[in-house]
Amino acid sequence: MTTTEHDTTPPRHTHEIPSYLDPRHLGPYGIFLEQVERVTPYLGKLAYWVETLKRPKRILVVDVPIHLDDGTVAHFEGYRVQHNTSRGPAKGGIRYHQDVTLSEVMALSAWMTVKNAAVNLPYGGGKGGIRIDPRKYSTAELERLTRRYTTEIGLIIGPEKDIPAPDVNTNPQIMAWMMDTYSMNTGKTATGVVTGKPISLGGSLGRSDATGRGVFVTGAQAMQKLGVPLEGARVAVQGFGNVGNAAARIFHDHGAKIVCIQDVTGTIYSSAGINPHQAIEHLRSTGSILGMPDTDTLDRDAFWETECDVLIPAALENQITEANAGRIRAKVIVEGANGPTTPAADDILHERGVTVVPDVLANAGGVTVSYFEWVQDFSSFFWTEDEINARLDRIMTEAFGSLWDVAARHKVTLRTAAYIVACTRVLEARALRGLYP
Ligand X SMILES: NC(=O)c1ccc[n+]([C@@H]2O[C@H](COP(=O)([O-])OP(=O)(O)OC[C@H]3O[C@@H](n4cnc5c(N)ncnc54)[C@H](O)[C@@H]3O)[C@@H](O)[C@H]2O)c1
Applying CB under 6 A, the residues found at the interface with ligand X are: 166-169, 211, 238-244, 262-264, 314-316, 336-338, 363, 366
Nearest residue (beta carbon) to ligand X: 241
Closest by Cα among 94, 183, 81, 185 to 134 = 94
Q: Cβ closer to ligand X: 184 or 201?
A: 201
Q: Cβ closer to ligand X: 39 or 337?
A: 337
Question: Is 91 among the annotated ligand-binding positions?
Answer: yes
Question: Is 115 among the annotated ligand-binding positions?
Answer: yes
For residue 355, what are the β-bridge partners? 332
Min CB(315)–ligand X separation in Å: 4
Task: Please tell me the distance from the alpha carbon of residue 179 to that of residue 184, in angstroms, as a whole number.
Answer: 9
Catalytic site includes residue 225: no
What CA–CA distances, in Å, run from 308 to 279, 311, 331? Answer: 19, 7, 8
Q: Cβ closer to ligand X: 84 or 341?
A: 341
Question: Is 370 among the annotated ligand-binding positions?
Answer: yes
Q: Cβ closer to ligand X: 263 or 346?
A: 263
Question: E strands within 152-271?
Answer: 162-163, 234-238, 257-263, 266-269
Min CB(105)–ligand X separation in Å: 11
Question: Is 331 among the annotated ligand-binding positions?
Answer: no
Min CB(199)–ligand X separation in Å: 16
Min CB(241)–ligand X separation in Å: 2
**Residue 31, CB-side half-sphere exposure with 13 Å CA sphere:** 26
CB 78 within 8 A of CB 149: yes
Which is the catalytic residue, given 54, 57, 127, 225? 127
CB 66 within 8 A of CB 77: no
CB 198 within 8 A of CB 177: no
Question: Is 295 among the annotated ligand-binding positions?
Answer: no
The CA-to-CA distance between both ends of the chain, in Å, stands at 17
Annotated binding site for substrate: which residue ranges? 91, 115, 370
What is the set of active-site residues? 127
Annotated binding site: which residue ranges? 91, 115, 211, 242, 370
